[in-house]
Amino acid sequence: MFPANTPRNRIKAAALLAALALPITLVIGATPFTPPPGSAQIPIVTKPLAPPAKAEPAAPLRQVAVLRAKTENWPERLEASGNVMPWHESRIGTEVSGLRLASVLVNEGDLVKKGQVLARFDTASVETDLDVANAQRVEAEAVLAQATATLERANRLAPSGGVSRQELTLYETQKHTAEARLNAARAQVKRQQIKMELATVNAPDDGLISSATALEGSIVQGGSELFRLIRQGRLEWRAEVRGDVLLKLAAGQEVVIHSPLGNDIKGRVRRISPTIDIATRNGFVYVDLPQGTDMKSGLNVSGSFNLGKSKALVIPAAALLRQGKSSQVLAVNAEGKIEMLEVTTGRTRDDWVEILSGLDDQTSIVARNLKGLKDGDLVALTNKTADNSQP
């Protein structure tokens, strides 16, 4: 039996037919179901579909300029250090002993001329000894004169037999003895005269007094040092360099010495050490310094030798990243990614740096503004090769 056709049953049937018709309408686009006339209307509410999510725009790539290292002929210089020393230092002393130093006329740092008096000794005792020596000389001269006269008289009497041969020999011996005593007396006089001359200390050459140990009133022994003189005031730089580099240097080469006051002084190689120290494997180069320089003896300074020119692979200093003692460049590979390369640096010239290892002239590197870039970053190139002007 069919259910009774009551209003309630009709509403249930209409709802069931609407539920079955809704999926079909949504899938195949059929016309919506219209309930029969007289049945209850049930509203159908549909939710609109959400629009698809939009993708976020990609961050712009950092733009960089690149360049390649290039080869230049750069001056090759050898850096060295050493002490400033006197070209020739004379030690001035005295040969006399037991004399009192009466006066000292110069001090350390004074400029002196050749022959200038530096000090004087008290010569009172020397003068007395000279007077005695002169008196002995006069006495010896008188004895010689008497012996000569006696020998001449004997020679006149000898032919007549007035003087024997034995007596004649005796007179000849007396004359020779008197001559010897006179020579000894003259030597004593000369000795005292020399002592008088040595009592005055003179400068052996023009120069600068670098040391003065003479004290007025002191009793000086023979051979004692009184002064030191830098002859002609000339100084030299004694640079210590490696033995293998020593072979590249020659007399006459120009040298630049760096003064502690900031200015550079030009000198020339005077001579090169003929030997190399076995322990240090180093040798000395003696460089003449110009007169009037502000250098002082004993000062340790550095300098450089010009060894000509050699090829160098160089890049701008702005393309070099320094971190402590290490140096890197930022290379850009074929994929446009940053690769950090360790390099070894050498000479510097103006705003350019020599690369000894770690880079070739075919690798593109970031030219400037390296800050913020790191290994693996993707970059965009603003050029194929940045301006690589001559250093």
Q: Are residues 142 and 179 in the same domain?
A: yes
* Per-residue pLDDT at 284: 94
Q: Is the pLDDT reported for residue 287 higher than 90? A: yes
Parent domain of 277: 79-87+233-309
User: Residue 305 in contact with residue 80, Cβ under 8 Å?
Assistant: yes
Q: Are residues 277 and 324 in the same domain?
A: no
Which of 181, 213, 228 lies at the terminal end of a domain, its last residue?
228
Handedness of CA 96, 98, 101, 107 (dihedral sign): positive
User: Residue 91 in contact with residue 211, Cβ under 8 Å?
Assistant: no
The SS3 of residue 268 is strand
Rounded to 10 degrees, the C-alpha dihedral 277/279/281/287 comes to: -40
**Residue 242 to residue 285: CA distance in whole angstroms:** 10
Which of 309, 336, 364 lies at the terminal end of a domain, its last residue?
309
**Residue 39 to residue 43: CA distance in whole angstroms:** 13
* Per-residue pLDDT at 2: 43
Q: Are residues 238 and 352 in the same domain?
A: no
Q: Is residue 265 part of a domain?
A: yes
Q: Which two tokens stand for residue 128?
A: 């007395």
Q: Are residues 98 and 223 in the same domain?
A: yes
Which of 259, 286, 309 lies at the terminal end of a domain, its last residue?
309
**0.75 exceeded by the pTM?**
no
Indicate the angle between helix axes 165-198 and 124-157, nearest 10 degrees. Answer: 160
Mean pLDDT of 125-151: 92
**Residue 21 to residue 170: CA distance in whole angstroms:** 181
Q: Is the pLDDT reported for residue 180 higher than 50? A: yes
Q: Are residues 296 and 315 in the same domain?
A: no
Residues 6+ apart with CB under 8 A from 13: none
**Residue 244 to residue 258: CA distance in whole angstroms:** 23
Q: Which two tokens stand for residue 377?
A: 């970053």
Q: Is residue 7 part of a domain?
A: yes
**Residue 7 to residue 38: CA distance in whole angstroms:** 10
Q: Residue 362: which CATH number?
A: 2.40.420.20
Q: Residue 204: which CATH number?
A: 2.40.50.100
In the chain, what percentage of residues exceed pLDDT 90? 48
* Per-residue pLDDT at 75: 84
Q: Are residues 203 and 284 in the same domain?
A: no
Q: Is residue 342 part of a domain?
A: yes
How many domains does the chain fold into? 4
Q: pLDDT (tens digit, 9 = 90+) per residue, 210-259? A: 999 999 999 988 888 999 999 998 999 999 999 888 888 989 888 999 98
Mean pLDDT of 125-149: 93
Please give the mean pLDDT across all residues of the chain. 83
Q: Residue 273: which CATH number?
A: 2.40.30.170
Counting Cβ atoms within 10 Å, is residue 341 exposed (0-12), middle (13-18) or buried (19+)? middle
Long-range contacts from 377-380, C-beta under 8 angstroms, 24+ separation: 377/62, 377/337, 377/338, 378/61, 378/335, 378/336, 378/337, 378/338, 379/61, 379/62, 379/63, 379/64, 379/332, 379/336, 379/337, 379/338, 380/61, 380/62, 380/63, 380/64, 380/336
Q: Are residues 212 and 101 in the same domain?
A: yes
**Residue 13 to residue 2: CA distance in whole angstroms:** 13
